[in-house]
Amino acid sequence: MKYSFKERQLGEDFCADRVAEIKKLLSPSGFFTLIGIPGVGISFFIRFIATREFAHFIYLDTSALASKTKHEFFVALLKELGIVKIPEGEQELLEAAKKRLKKLTKQKHVIFLFNRFDDLGKEMTDTLLANLRTLRHVTADKISMIFVAHKSLTDVSEDALQGGNMDMFSNIYYFQPYKKEDLRQLFILHSQHLLQQDKAFEEVYEKSGGHYELAKLLLKSKDNKVVAQKFINFSLKKIYTGLSYGQKKILQKIAFSKQIKELDEVLVSLGFIRPNNEFFSPLLAEYIKKTIAIKLPVKEAKLFQLLRKRIDKVVNKEEIFKALWQESDEEFGSDWALNSLIYRLRKNPAFRAKGYVIENHKKVGYILYKN
């Protein structure tokens, strides 16, 4: 066995169902993209796969490259193939890799694991992908490739996916957050000191939804809640901002319990959304509610801006009337109209989610507070 990653110590029952699915996708050979939510812990799984004995694995973590160029990518690839003397020219690099693969495939099925492949960014060109296809065709029935990413590679470089290159990424395996016992195994392996109380882990699992990074930050939060919360928000931001506009709108509607006509298949496949339109983690729902912009009709927006400028201080009714209504308005100076605006502002989901509260000072005015 070539790789001695720490994940080798995980038991055979670790993610057994997923390993079985991966084997099916690779039988007899093939290639596909393995996509997961940022921070979910997909690298642990792919390193675990690299230590199995059912194939000869070639593991390459793109994020570890000194410079993310096509040349450096192939140099690193040749080193993983066991080639000591690295040629300089691109064509020579390719030929050396092909020659080595011919020898390896005589002994065993070869599986390339390209972790964080989307980190190549603009370097993921049609030429690079064509070269990888060339390597696979050395012995097509004995060479497979798995490209690990946090989003579809069409979103990284659509121009690169031309002709035969499209076939390489048309198959996608969606890696959902970990099941409870699989996540527990990861913490026993990497951060056993955080598993001091089983009850705490149960609560953390429910909050994180099986997302490794969130779970780890939650377990650490007992030591320093302020610092932990800052990093939890950063993790949630990373998860949320990577989505498309349409996907964000769907999650916003679900967060505020609004009806949606049609779910996004990718959100469901990745595990963002579970049965009954539940988020994989309640933390993500809270994050969306707190960060989404408060959208209000014109008069309600003016009222909110006025109160926010004087937050924690009383804003007199007379001042509000002058700012919101002109003397020509039918409802100028109407307590009923102002009360109606206050009521609608208080009921706005985004307003409430951000922790704003309006306090009424009878016959005087209103104060805006933020929890």
Residue type, 72: E
Domains 6-175 and 298-370 share a fold: no
Return the closest-CA partner of residue 29 out of 120, 108, 117: 108
Alpha-carbon distance 96 to 102, whole Å? 10
Residue with tokens 């507070």: 369
92-101 long-range CB contacts below 8 Å, 24 or more apart? 94/131, 94/134, 94/135, 97/135, 98/134, 98/135, 98/138, 101/135, 101/138, 101/139, 101/143
Burial 154-169, CB ≥16 within 10 A → b, else e: eebbeebbeeebeebb
Prediction pTM value: 0.82
Q: Domain ranges in the chain? A: 6-175, 180-291, 298-370
Give the total residue count for the chain.
371
Q: Which CATH class is domain 298-370?
A: mainly alpha
252 DSSP 8-state letter: H
Record the tokens describing residue 301, joined without a space: 């927006």
The pLDDT score that the predictor gives to residue 185 is 96
Q: Which superfamily does CATH assign the domain made up of 6-175 to?
A: P-loop containing nucleotide triphosphate hydrolases (3.40.50.300)
Q: For each of the chain's 371 residues, which pLDDT tens digit applies?
A: 579 999 999 999 999 999 999 998 887 777 888 999 999 999 999 999 999 998 999 999 999 998 889 899 999 999 999 998 999 888 999 999 999 999 999 988 999 999 999 888 888 888 888 888 899 889 888 999 999 988 777 776 666 666 666 666 678 899 999 999 999 999 999 999 888 777 789 999 999 999 999 999 999 887 666 667 889 999 999 999 989 989 999 999 898 888 888 889 999 999 999 878 899 999 999 899 888 877 788 888 888 889 889 899 999 988 888 888 875 555 556 788 888 888 888 888 778 777 889 999 888 889 999 87
CA distances from 101 to 87, 117, 144, 225 (A): 16, 21, 12, 51
Alpha-carbon distance 333 to 342, whole Å? 14
| 186 contact partners, CB below 8 Å, separation of at least 6 | 10, 41, 44, 178, 212
Record the tokens describing residue 234, joined without a space: 């950063």
Report which secondary-structure segment, H or E, holds 359.
Answer: strand 356-361
